[in-house]
Amino acid sequence: MSNPFEELANLDKLLHEPARLSILTALAACESADFTFLRRLTGLSDGNLSIQISKLEEAGLIHVQKQFVAKKPSTHIRITEAGRNAIERYWAQLQELKKKADSWQKTSETE
């Protein structure tokens, strides 16, 4: 049986990266968001946000819609069902690992 620290090392690396984690967490809380909103919310640069969005889209976790509004480019991003399931599973795993780590600490202190 692995300890919680080994399990932490095995978390989904795609979701565990802080920029992608913040993007998916934000998108899970709303129907969709535009690029500018996500940039402001996450504090990422345009380039970094664009790269992370591309990685999440390639993995099928988000859907990106690009269009022109009043001759200006507009990018809207929404989380897919697979993305919603992945981020919910990720946060549940973290909560469970936290409980295990707390329990492990108490157990190891008494030994």
Distances (CA, A) of 72 to 63, 79, 94: 20, 23, 40
Query: Has residue 109 been placed in a domain?
Result: no
What is the spatial distance between Cα 19 and Cα 49, in angstroms, rounded to a whole number? Answer: 8
On the question of pLDDT at 14 being above 80, the answer is yes
Q: Has residue 52 been placed in a domain?
A: yes
Which single residue is written with the structure tokens 């001759």? 71
Residue 84 falls inside a structural domain: yes
pLDDT at 106: 62
- Position 110 in a domain: no
pTM across the whole model: 0.84
Q: DSSP string covering 57-111, please?
A: HHTTSEEEEEEEETTEEEEEEEE-HHHHHHHHHHHHHHHHHHHHHHHHHHHHHH-
**Does the pLDDT value for residue 1 go beyond 90?**
no
CATH number of residue 65's parent domain: 1.10.10.10
- Give the per-residue pLDDT at 27: 97
Q: Print the domain residue range for 65.
A: 4-101
111, part of any domain: no
Q: Cβ neighbours of residue 107 under 8 Å, at least 6 residues apart? A: none
From CA 96, how far away is CA 8, in angstroms rounded? 10
Q: How many domains does the chain have?
A: 1
Q: For 22-55, write each residue's pLDDT tens digit.
A: 999 999 999 899 999 999 999 999 999 999 999 9
